[in-house]
Structure 1
Amino acid sequence: MPVPTPLRAAIVGTGGIAKSHLRALRSHADRVELVAAVDINGDAAEAFCAAAGGTATPYTDLDAMLAAERPDLVSICTPPTLHADQTATALRAGAWVLCEKPPCPSLAEYDAITAAEGAENTDEPGRAGPFASIVFQHRFGSGAVHVRRLLAEGALGRPLVAHCQTTWYRDTAYYAVPWRGRWATEGGGPAMGHGIHQNDLLLDLLGPWETVNAMAGRLVHDVETEDVSTALVRFRGGALATVVNSVLSPDEVSRIRIDCELATVELVHLYGHSNANWTITPAPGVPAEQAAAWRNFGADVPSGHGPQLGELLDAMAAGRRPRASGPDGRTSLEFTTALYKSAFTGRPVTSGSIGADDPYYTVLHGNAPGWAPEAPAESR
């Protein structure tokens, strides 16, 4: 059964990030249309629908919207603590999902999302799924696609050393929003809510990681979570990397650098990249024509929600699992979980070692003293 065109889409949560999802939908207006928006604040839902052009219907209840509109695709744009339940609800209603990062506050919740997905194998195109894809939009720009291909083909030689840096600045007003900086509602600090984008891109470029050894600190902000973390990472292919996540850095930058045998690849940007943000520096002795070929990125497609949505729509049409879903989407959350576990236990953590009986599987702070929220006085 072919997927109908245009697809019917709904947005859940009409805060700031919902605008990015709306722009993405508009960039594929020939394939998908917004039919509804949901927000517990009815006025906010109405205002969002009006700003979107007035053709979408506002709702204050997710279940009511799913029953009335039967959307093919649902974008989840609410705070992280709501992601798992809302994503699973949309999946069970038959909708595919594009869920904002971070996917959810724990591996346990992510695995519950995967359990709510549809079948993965089918002989009839258009009938697989539905699946839930996590917004890791930095993977989908043309620069990332080009560099991933060069690395996968071995064109640049073996990756040896890497640096991944998300050093941003957030003031006290930023943390005045009640759900930020709290384990129960945000899930984590900059390692989870900010650096996860660059960390995900690093993992996507270098492949499976093997071991992480991390530290975390709460140096400035009066929050439950960390406000800075650092980590040393060994990848299965042998490369060694440093990872820094911070909200204490006035000179803000997002950076990935990978030193390979034949070239250094570097990406420097802040919240999104185009081809111009990537540089490839050849090692001495590399022929000029070879270096020129490496630097030919082709048509410029900036990273963003639009390119990722395009790949998701392609997956829906083909009846296949999209990238950044299932095990592929879980990779970055597992890495973040391992980073926290290493930081709070003082020991290295290996990939695949956090099982369902591990306290870090359920909550990212793992009930570590000094990091877990204190119990109310009457229960102590």
Structure 2
Amino acid sequence: MRYRTTIIGTGAIAHAHADAVAAHAERFELVAVCDLDAERGREFADRHRASAVFDDAERMIAETRPDFVQICTPPGSHVPLMIAALRAGAVPIVEKPPALSLAELDEVIAVERETGLAAIGVFQQRFGSGADTLAAMMAEGVLGRPLVATCETLWYRDADYFAVPWRGTWQSEGGGPTMGHGIHQLSTLLGLLGPWSDVRAVARRQSRPTETEDVSAALVTFASGAVATVVNSLISPRETSRVRIDFEHATAELEHLYGYTRDAWRFTPAPDSPHLAERWAADTTHHESSHTAQFADVLDALDAGRPAPVTMADARELLDLAAATYKSAFTGATVAAGEIGPGDPFYTSMRGTGAPWETP
């Protein structure tokens, strides 16, 4: 089946979406794009061979009746656009973070139940060579229990980056690196380790001219008993993205920046399990973590009648951990998974009761 898709927002990340559509041209057709900047929209459409350009998203969806709506706009607009797509009978594919709060995401989940359709979150770093091998080995049980992990997003963003009005604000971006940057590595970690149980955290605004934090650190306990440190930073001159998991019988670690192939992984068997090195090396695939890789899995799942990765239920677990990280950092409490619900100030905003640096 060849699916018809549209793209809303033609900024930098939209090119990755359009390139992924082109990579699956036998299964995807880009029928229209939408941008409030008509000139930018036209340039994007010409470059990526879209046949129509709109400046109104709902009109584009109504007139083109696509199968998919790819949402590449600033985070504050994600939820209303997802809801509009779902109610028009289209599947939204939305950039991270899909919503600014648990309350917003629950709105989307309610509309999913109403329409019978399911939105898809873009978390492309779950879909690279090495991650699938590790997941398979975990499922086989050959690695033993996961014991300890580290998850680091150490990036650098200067003041000019935050000159864009919606960046670094609670209202438009929802949070700092805990929400908008480290969420990729965190998604990879949760995809491998499964449900988390509680978190203790700190967050600081160290140097950037933002409302939100520019660094956070958390100690997360998982339902499996594994313990992980999670560090997110936008003030680190030597940038890196890192996930490491120490199992009973091996260590698997991934270091890259914005995307990886198998070469970015390092696998070290424990002294009593040297045979695991052969099992790891048996898979020689080298596809890069990317929108193209995730879209391939999405299309395969939909063709087979299975839920497409990553679901809003998966995204909710991520946002629950983000909200709990902020709540722990701002209140000093240990926060349990599922604790934050209606009536909790952190349910409707990651800012919750207010950041410590807001106090004069």
Does 2:95 match 1:100? Answer: yes
Q: Is the 8 A contact 1:365 1:371 kept in 2?
A: no
Task: Show the counterpart of 1:196.
Answer: 183
The aligned counterpart of 1:82 is 77
Q: Is residue 280–residue 295 contact of structure 1 (8 Å, CA) maintained in 2? A: no
The CA deviation at 1:329 is: 2.2
Match for residue 332 of structure 2?
346
Q: Is the 8 A contact 2:330 2:353 kept in 1?
A: no
Report how many residues are paired: 360
Deviation for aligned residue 1:285: 2.3
1:63 aligned residue: 58
Distance 2:307 2:280 in 1: 30
In the TM superposition, what whole-angstrom CA distance separates every residue of 1:81-115 from its partner, at most 9, and x where no partner exists?
00000011011100011100011110111111111
Q: Report if aligned partners of 1:366, 1:372 keep a CA contact under 8 Å in 2.
A: no
Name the SS of the counterpart of 1:56 in structure 2: coil
**TM-score normalized with structure 2 length:** 0.96
| 1:299 shift after superposition | 1.9
Work out whether 1:165 is the aligned partner of 2:152.
yes
**1:124 maps to which residue?**
none
Q: What amino acid maps onto 1:30 in structure 2?
A: E
Aligned residue number for residue 30 of structure 1: 26
TM-aligned CA distance change 1:187 to 1:275, over 3 Å? same
The one-letter code of the counterpart of 2:195 is P
Q: Residue 132 of structure 2 aligns to which amino acid in structure 1? A: V
Q: Give the corresponding residue for 2:170.
A: 183
User: One-letter code of the match for 1:17?
Assistant: I
Is 1:295 aligned to residue 281 of structure 2?
A: yes
* Aligned-pair CA distance for 1:367: 3.0
1:235 corresponds to which of 193, 197, 222: 222
The answer (yes or no) to whether the contact 2:205–2:357 under 8 Å persists in 1 is: no
Is there any run of 5+ residues in structure 2 with no aligned partner, and where? Answer: none
Q: Secondary structure at the match of 1:279?
A: strand
CA contact (8 A) 1:216 1:226 kept: yes
Which residue, 339, 342, 350 being the options, matches 1:356? Answer: 342
**Cα displacement string for residues 211-243 of structure 1 (whole angstroms, at most 9, x for unaligned residues):** 100000001011100000000111111111101
Letter in 2 for 1:96: V
* Separation in structure 2 between the aligned mates of residue 324 and residue 138 of structure 1, nearest angstrom: 11
**In structure 2, how many angstroms separate the alpha carbons of the residues matched to 1:117 and 1:315?**
18
Hey, what does 1:312 align to over in structure 2?
A: 298
Q: 1:45 maps to which residue? A: 41
Alpha-carbon separation, structure 2, partners of 1:89 and 1:207: 31
SS at match of 1:339: helix
**Which sits farther off after the overlay, 184-193 or 322-331?**
322-331
Give how far 1:315 is off. 2.8
Aligned residue runs from structure 1 range 135-150, under 5 A: 135-150=122-137
Matched, 1:153 2:140: yes
Confirm whether residue 215 of structure 1 aligns to residue 202 of structure 2: yes
**Residue in structure 2 matched with residue 277 of structure 1 by the alignment:** 264
CA deviations on 1:44-76 (whole Å, 9 max, x unpaired) are 1111101112x4200000111011100000100
> Hey, what's the Cα distance between the residues in 2 that align with 1:17 and 1:255?
22
Flag structure 1 segments of 5+ consecutive residues without an equivalent: 121-128, 375-380
Deviation at 1:319, TM superposition (A): 3.3
Offset at residue 372 of structure 1 (A): 6.6
How far apart, in 2, do the equivalents of 1:373 and 1:309 lie?
44
Question: Offset of 1:143 from its aligned partner?
Answer: 1.3
Structure 1 counterpart SS, 2:45: helix
